[in-house]
Chains A and B, each alone.
Chain A
Amino acid sequence: MAFTDHEILETVRMFELETLDIRTTTLGINLLDCADPDLEATCEKIYAKIVHHGRNLVAIADSITADYGIPIVNKRIATTPIALVAAACGSRDLVPIARAMDAAARECGVDFIGGFTAYVYKGFSNADRALFESIPQALAQTERVCSSIALASTRAGINMDATARFAEIVLETARLTQDRGGLGCAKLVCFANAVEDNPFVAGAHLGVGEAETVINVGVSGPGVVRSALARLGRDADLLAVAETVKRTAFKITRMGELVGREAARRMGTTFGIVDISLAPTPALGDSVSDILELIGVDRTGAPGTTVALALLTDAVKKGGAMASSSVGGLSGAFIPVSEDSGMIEAVRCGALSLAKLEAMTSVCSVGLDMVAVPGDTPAATIFGIIADEMAIGMVNYKTTAVRIIPVPGKGPGDTVEWGGLLGTAIVQDPGRFSCAGLFARGGRVPAPIQSYRN
């Protein structure tokens, strides 16, 4: 037999018992040729092009699942940053474009479409400003559109004017979607060092250096890593832990590679990258927090959590890098608080504070993700949380993001249910001290010394 019984049963077990799946197959579509001096025509072209390319994405992903027995959970679309596409029309209200994207996503049968995006790390163009101001209405009026803003980069520094305005936009978005627990903010994220081939929402978009169309794949599998570590036992040393994670990540990534190649072949397009992020879901056992606890912390958030997460993220990247020549996206471990049953529990029992979470983001693959704060949190405080996170990304040459949800009408310790993949959150306390002075200053944090590499 070409494979041992052990190998075969291991694979079957991963799919059957350890919830291994391909988290997303994302089709990137370049929309730059949809630019038009007329807003209505821009919307028409955007709708037509997305549907033209994305129409059979879901059928193709389903056919791969049928042929290989690998579940592909989400099918998504990422587009060129809309601020670039919409610049030619000069419109101040870009909500119609979001509606066109939403309609196209519905027509294609995908659950989310990313790309209502602007890069403003150094300054605003007129179109960037228009996109910014359209975000709250765009997210309130659409169901599937996701918005991301690049606020900072190691090369450019942090645009603090944009960060301050972004904080206000987060609050405005929460207010407009207050009947759904501020859910609009779950579709809104900001980045330092944004990744232009990110297949995961809310940050998915297709950067300008990318091909006309491209398939990017995001694999998951915290359940598989957790089980492998459980089998390893408590006595193994950390080198053995790292090795186990690495080997497991290799296997998971290979599934992404297989699906990515096959999806690209069947679509007739370019295969971009595999993003090897361990992405938890609210389902039991599908938790990054559980992995950290297996490595040896009592509760996620206890002292030792950051080093455990650092080891995990690094081992995942190493295993993935061996498994695929085109590892990209964010790659590592996500720690979205509301989407991880273990993290929710850690917040509930007081183990995981916002401060510890911020420390963890310096070594995880993204940043503060799906964090709920009280709905009456001042804009300056949200600004401060975001700016701190941007600083971590800028100085460390690392992608960091913030997806924060000020939940209207809720205070610290309250529970909010978003349902589905977005899960449940316990509202966290951002503290009572403010940074209003910093908020009022405006301007830009200059690029750090690390950026002078030429």
Chain B
Amino acid sequence: MAKRFLTAEDVRHAGTKEIVVDEQTIVTPQAMEAAQSASIVIRTAAGAYAEPKPDRGPDADRALRSLPHLPEPQDEEAAGAGVIVTAVGKNRAGVLAELTGALAQAGVSIHDISQRVVDGYFHLILVVELDPGATFGPLKQRLECMGGPDDYAVRVMHQRVFRFMHRV
């Protein structure tokens, strides 16, 4: 069985100028240092040593497969990567135009829209869909920079958040 770790002590006792470790072995930083100062080369049978990919244990693969994705829709692809944009603030002319303009620039199509004004304050909800290949992060950043403390605030959240919170 492969050695799990190579420690500085192992390096000091090796007595050779080259230590061949298994690909899964974790070489401790102290062992690396000890090898360097004694000009010992640590390598695997295949070549230079590189820290292995973390082995998360025998349960990890199964755990990934068996995650039940309720309350996700059966066919998530068909549902699309929905994003919900909300804006809340003082009502004034042009808010909707600003937001939809920004969405258009980002190449995002709007699926649904709802807006209400109560006592001079509005709330606006947009359900939008990202193009395949478009990423959520930049869109979120861009939209959430809009508005201001005395104007309106924008929040961009993944549809999955709402699905998890409100569907059994």
Contact = CB atoms under 8 A, between A and B. Distances in A.
Contact of B158 (A5, A45, A47, A67): A67
B30 A7 contact: no
B10 to A, nearest CB: 8
A225 B66 CA distance: 32
B101 interface: no
B96 to A, nearest CB: 15
B164 interface: yes
A48 B29 CA distance: 7
B60 A8 contact: no
B86 A66 contact: no
B155 A44 contact: no
Nearest to B71: A254
Interface string B3-44: 011011100000000000000001111110000000000000
B162 A8 contact: yes
Contacts of B84: 3, 8
A116 B126 CA distance: 49
A108 to B, nearest CB: 12
A47 B31 CA distance: 12
B145 interface: no
A44 B114 CA distance: 58
Main SS class of interface, B: mixed
Interface stretch (A117-125, A127-135, A262-270, A416-424): A262-270
Contacts of A70: 161
B57 interface: yes
B63 A258 contact: no
Interface string A15-35: 110000000000000100110
- Give the size category of A's interface with B: 35 or more
B160 A258 contact: yes
Contacts of A264: 63-64, 67
B63 A5 contact: no
Contacts of B116: 5
Contacts of B161: 11, 68-70, 255, 258
Interface residues of B, number: 50
Contacts of A16: 153, 155
A234 interface: no
B75 to A, nearest CB: 14
A25 to B, nearest CB: 15
Contacts of A261: 67
Interface of B: 4-5, 7-9, 26-31, 51, 54-60, 63-64, 67-68, 82, 84, 86, 88, 112, 114, 116, 123, 125, 127, 136-137, 140, 153, 155-166, 168
15 contacts: A2-B159, A12-B155, A12-B157, A16-B155, A40-B7, A44-B29, A44-B31, A47-B28, A48-B5, A53-B54, A68-B160, A70-B161, A211-B58, A213-B57, A322-B168
Which 3 A-B pairs give the minimum distances between C-beta atoms? Answer: A212-B57, A270-B63, A269-B56
Given A211-B63, A212-B58, 16 more contacts: A1-B112, A2-B82, A3-B162, A38-B7, A44-B29, A45-B26, A48-B28, A49-B26, A213-B54, A213-B56, A251-B166, A255-B161, A265-B64, A268-B60, A271-B63, A271-B67
Interface of A: 1-3, 5, 7-9, 11-12, 15-16, 30, 33-34, 36, 38, 40-41, 44-45, 47-49, 52-53, 66-70, 211-213, 251, 254-255, 257-258, 261, 264-265, 267-271, 322, 325
